[in-house]
């Protein structure tokens, strides 16, 4: 079971560049259920994954499998909608938690979100976000990557406008 909260970001933390990071490219073969292929590139490694997620915005099942690069490329050809690219930074938080801060690139340039995965719902409910976290968007489907993959150019423009102004 994956339990996570998602937030917009008010400002980037000062020490962001010192944090572990990698580039992600992902696309969806299906959005219901969410079936995603992902390429993750770090300074010394390239990894490829196929992920299936059950429905649910706060808590859901997730199964991830390693796949090879050629399998990834073949799945990518079958993907529907927008390919999502982002730089992900891993930031330590209190109580052994970590934040995954995503700075989106390409067509979603300007969107910055952070998510935190929790060991249980109780920990998630007690969580106090750090000052750089903005509004919580866990239950706003616009900010889930599977939905972003289906957005039109107009929807993307509206999303980016919302991120920067706080209203539609």
- pTM beyond 0.85, yes or no: yes
CB 83, CB 151: distance < 8 Å: no
Domain extent, residue 121, equals 2-165
In this predicted structure, the answer to whether residue 40 has a pLDDT above a threshold of 70 is: yes
How much is the pLDDT for 56? 64
In this predicted structure, the answer to whether residue 86 has a pLDDT above a threshold of 80 is: yes
28 is an active site residue: yes
Average pLDDT, rounded, for the chain: 92
CATH of the domain at 8: 2.40.320.10
CA pair distance 1, 121, nearest whole angstrom: 10
Of the candidates 28, 72, 89, 132, the residue annotated as catalytic is: 28
SS3 content of the chain, % helix, strand, coil (to 5): 25, 45, 30
CA pair distance 162, 153, nearest whole angstrom: 14
In this predicted structure, the answer to whether residue 155 has a pLDDT above a threshold of 80 is: yes
The total of structural domains in the chain comes to: 1
């Amino acid at each position: 079971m994956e339990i996570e909260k998602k937030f917009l970001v008010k400002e980037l933390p000062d020490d962001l560049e010192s944090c572990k990071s990698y580039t992600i490219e992902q696309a969806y073969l299906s959005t219901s259920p969410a079936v995603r292929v992902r390429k993750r590139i770090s300074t010394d490694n390239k990894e490829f994954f196929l992920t299936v997620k059950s429905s649910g915005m706060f808590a859901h099942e997730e199964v991830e499998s390693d796949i090879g690069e050629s399998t990834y490329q073949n799945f990518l050809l079958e993907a529907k909608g927008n390919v999502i690219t982002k730089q992900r930074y891993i930031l330590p938080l209190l109580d052994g938690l970590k934040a995954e801060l995503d700075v989106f690139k390409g067509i979603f340039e300007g969107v910055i979100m952070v998510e935190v995965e929790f060991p249980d719902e109780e920990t998630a409910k007690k969580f106090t976000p750090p000052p750089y976290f903005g509004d919580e968007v866990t239950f706003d489907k616009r900010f889930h990557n599977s939905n972003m993959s289906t957005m039109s150019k107009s929807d993307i423009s509206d999303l980016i406008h919302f991120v920067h102004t706080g209203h539609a």
